[in-house]
Structure formats: structure tokens, C-alpha cells
Amino acid sequence: MWWFLTISLLTLLYYIWQKQGSMGKKYLICMPHLPILGSLPYMNFHDPAHVYFTKLKEKYGNTFAFWMGPQYSVVVNHFSAAKEVLLKKGKDFASRPRMVTTDILSGSGKGIAFSEYGPQWRMYRKLVQSSFSLLKDGSQKLEKLICQEANTLCKSLAAAQGKIQDPATDIFLASSNVICQFCFSSSWNKDDEDFEIMMDYSNNILKTLCKDSLVDIFPWIQLFPNKDLALLKDSVTLRNELLKKKLEIQKEKFNIDSVNNLLDALLKAKLDSDNPLVQEPEITDEHILMTVGDIFGAGVETTSTVVRWCIAFLLHHPQVKEEIQKEIDQKIGFGRTPVLSDRNQLLHLESTIREVLRIRPVAPLLIPHMAWTDTSIGEYTIPKGTRIYINLWSIHHDPTQWNEPERFMPERFLDKNKDQLIIPNASYFPFGSGPRVCVGEFLARSELFLFLAWILQRFDLEVPDDGELPSLDGLSGVVFQIIPFKLKVKLRKGWREAELSA
């Protein structure tokens, strides 16, 4: 009886407290919620979060609130509010919530992906951005780097020609080596121990990070034994050891007059900032490691996943694959390998990549944003500290913007005459937008284009003899992964003939 009375009284006080705080302000429609547990008892955990939030649109509208345990959170399902959050008021919303899992990965909020908004984040982001522009300006260097890896990738695929294979490791190696060259000017072989360790820990980090697991909602849960958290901690330790090893090697080789990679650029910035006249946030080895770790992790996990999604969709839609190959044959032939400047020629390939990024966005909920100041979305008050989930899935599958959004139709990114690439509407931003937009977008797009162009010029990709098509369901998490699949790779007749006559 006493229990019952106490709980009823607490609930009543909670609602009065909430109402008082909201006088004169307009708040978003909110899912039902209880003290402490928030809206969790009312939520369905069968669907992946991005799908569930999309379904809730029917009931609560495009932008609505819910309580993730004790945390006031907002879901944005429509592009216009998303643009307001990411671009128009981008600065207000440019922070990140601190979570137990991302704190473990980022050494308590260091680096650039999961760190809070502020001068420190801005400085590291700028340093990374300027290192990327070095690559962009000398895009021949970038091109050479990617083509070298595309060449190794094609050789490995050819070696297992005619057999049934899962191309995941070879593609992962190729994208890892591009980012490894960018970060450290080094690369791995397929059988290097460090490469295997990296592939393993990276996969385990993805399995356990930022999954809205209970520990990210109620941090005190970490006091109890937790298998996932232990796996994450072990994986992060392995990652940090590997990064430290790279940092030590780079420090020995470091020459201030020849900055060749991201780590060099950060080490140089550290030296410059040792000057007591320069008043900048401090640059420490740990911050450098976490920043490189983010770029490296992002480069490794995202591109290889998208290349595999593209291959999976092409196995489902062989006519699209044929169209791409027809265009490659016409515009490039077999006399030379594809280069970046072919991008404005191979419209079918480009439109396919755009469509894959639409229908299976790399990060369907982006990384959660956080308002670091009191602000608003439209007429609704958003208090400081609110978590914002931008539902890219819903934005990319919005039936009011996209005709038959569930259908794979690369031609939606071509104009009527099919001779020009277009973005048909504003409900599309696969790399995010605003201050937190993906820093590696240019590198990612270049890699996707070159890897796929090299593969499709040389090979026919076929479903294995048992006819099993890849699943297009995916595994949700901070990266929307594809379920492993197998395929048969065959050298194309034209390529073989060209090789023989060379």
C-alpha cells in the first residue's frame, strides 16, 4: 500500500514539474513516458530503430519527442526539419551526447566523430579537413593511391575466378589500405597479423558501439558484469595498441618539412602549438590518436560496406549491371583502366552509387546530435541537452518525395534524356549536412567510383550456382552493415582477349 502511494505521488510530482517547466513554451508531441524508464516500456524493440521511428511517423508526425530513459530525445523524420537541425541551426545542434560506449571508444570524448561541440573539436576537425584537401588538390595522388588498391583487389578476385567467393575481406583490405596510406603512408598484405587483428576488433566495435543498449541509457548498468561492454573494451585496447605503434613509427620518421599524411599533419600542428605565443587548445598524443582512430575507423568500415551493398544490388538487378558495363565498354574500352575523370562519363555507375547510398544509407540514424544550447525546431522549444536522431532512413524512403521508394531505380538520378546526373529532390543527404557533415565524402565517393569501375570493367558478377541472392535486409548499428554473401566472379571475355593481345 505504502509503495503504491509513494509511486503515485512521485509520478504526480513528476508531471507537475514537467508542466511547470513548459509554461509559455511549445513542446513537440511526445510519446507516453514514465519517470526513470521514460518511453522505453511503450517502445517496440523488434524492428531496427530507424524502421520503428519511420513507422511512428503515422502516429506522432514527422518530428516528435520521446524519453530514452531519463534522456529527452527527438526524432526527425522529414528533410525540412532535418535541414533546419543540420544546416540552418547547424551550430546549435552540432554537439554529441556523451554515452558510455562512445566514451570508451573515444577516450572520454576525444577525436572528432563523437566529441562535443567546442573549440577543441573545431580545431581537430579543421586539421583533418586541411589534410583531406591536400589529397583533393593533388587529386592525382589520390587517384594513384586508390587505383593501386583497386588493382590489387582485382588481382585477388581474379585469382579465385570461377569459384564461389565472399569478396568481403578483399574489399575490406582495399579500403583499409587507402585510408592507411592517407593516415600513416603504409599498407597491409592480406595475411598480415595486424590486418587480421584490425578486421576483428573493428567488427567487434561495430557490434557493440552506440546501439542504444541499456548501458548507454542508464550508465550505472556498467557497474554490473556486461559481456558486450567487455568486448568493446578489449577491442578498443587492441585498436589503441595498433594506433600507438603507428604513432611511434611516425614520430621517428617525422620531418617537419615533409608532411605526407594525416598523422604527420597532426604531429606538425602539435609542434606548432608548443609555441607559447599560440593560444590554441592543447594538442596531446591521446587526442591525435583518437582523431586518427576516427578517420581510420570511418574509412575502413564505411566504403567497404557500400561497395558490397552495390555488388549485392547489382546481383539482384543484372540489367543495371549490364548497362553500366555497356557504358564502360563504350567510354573506356579495355585498353586502359578507369580514372577519376571518367566520373562524368559513366553516368550509370554514378547513378547506381547514388541510389545505393539512398536506399541503404551508411548510417540510417546518422550519429546522434545534441543541442548544446536552448534552441528550437520550427515553433517548438528544444532544451539544451536534447538528443536528436536524424532518421535518414525515413528521409530517403519518404513516399511524398520519392516515387516507389522501396524500389531500386538508379535512373531516378538521371535526367529525362539519361545524359545528365541529377539529385531529384532535397530529401537526400547520404553524408549528412552542416558542421558535422562527413569529412571524408570526397575520398569515399572517389573510392566507390574507382573500385566499382575497375571491378565491372574486368569481371562479370554472378549469383552462385545454387541461385542464392544476397539478403538486402542488413544489420543495423552505427553502420548499416550488409549480411555476408557469396558470388561468382568471372573475367569478362573482352578483358581476356585484350590481355592476350597485349
Interface with ligand STR by CB under 6 A: which residues? 113, 202, 205-206, 209, 239, 294, 297-298, 301-302, 362-363, 367, 478-479
What is the C-alpha to C-alpha distance for residues 92 and 297, in angstroms, rounded to an integer?
Answer: 27
Whose Cβ is closer to ligand STR: residue 176's or residue 325's? 176
Could you tell me the smallest distance in angstroms from the CB atom of residue 50 to ligand STR? 13
Whose Cβ is closer to ligand STR: residue 338's or residue 477's? 477
Could you tell me the smallest distance in angstroms from the CB atom of residue 33 to ligand STR? 28
- Cβ-based neighbours of 201, under 8 Å, separated by 6 or more: 234, 235, 236, 238, 239
Cell of 317: 538487378
Cell of 194: 595486424
Could you tell me the smallest distance in angstroms from the CB atom of residue 498 to ligand STR? 38
Whose Cβ is closer to ligand STR: residue 28's or residue 357's? 357
Say if residues 25 and 60 touch (Cβ distance below 8 Å).
no
Could you tell me the smallest distance in angstroms from the CB atom of residue 433 to ligand STR? 13
Whose Cβ is closer to ligand STR: residue 294's or residue 327's? 294
Closest CA relative to residue 360, chosen from 295, 405, 301, 300: 405
DSSP 343-387: GGT-HHHHHHHHHHHHHS-SSTT-SPEE-SSSEEETTEEE-TT-E
Could you tell me the smallest distance in angstroms from the CB atom of residue 111 to ligand STR? 8
Whose Cβ is closer to ligand STR: residue 110's or residue 321's? 110
Say if residues 75 and 394 touch (Cβ distance below 8 Å).
no
Could you tell me the smallest distance in angstroms from the CB atom of residue 58 to ligand STR? 28
Whose Cβ is closer to ligand STR: residue 209's or residue 247's? 209
Whose Cβ is closer to ligand STR: residue 115's or residue 302's? 302
Cell of 64: 516528435
Residue nearest to ligand STR (CB): 297
Could you tell me the smallest distance in angstroms from the CB atom of residue 431 to ligand STR? 9
| Strands 63-68 and 71-76, bridge-based pairing | antiparallel
What is the C-alpha to C-alpha distance for residues 78 and 64, in angstroms, rounded to an integer?
Answer: 11
Whose Cβ is closer to ligand STR: residue 146's or residue 300's? 300
Interior angle at CA 306, CA 302 and CA 308, nearest 5? 120
Could you tell me the smallest distance in angstroms from the CB atom of residue 304 to ligand STR? 11
Whose Cβ is closer to ligand STR: residue 297's or residue 410's? 297
Say if residues 93 and 388 touch (Cβ distance below 8 Å).
yes
Say if residues 250 and 263 touch (Cβ distance below 8 Å).
yes
CA distances (Å), 320 to each of 15, 30, 135, 183, 400, in order?
56, 43, 32, 35, 25
Whose Cβ is closer to ligand STR: residue 38's or residue 368's? 368
Could you tell me the smallest distance in angstroms from the CB atom of residue 370 to ligand STR? 15
Cα torsion angle, 277, 278, 284, 289, sign: negative
Q: What share of the chain is helix, strand, coil (3-state, %, to 5)?
A: 55, 10, 35
Say if residues 121 and 110 touch (Cβ distance below 8 Å).
no
Could you tell me the smallest distance in angstroms from the CB atom of residue 311 to ligand STR? 19
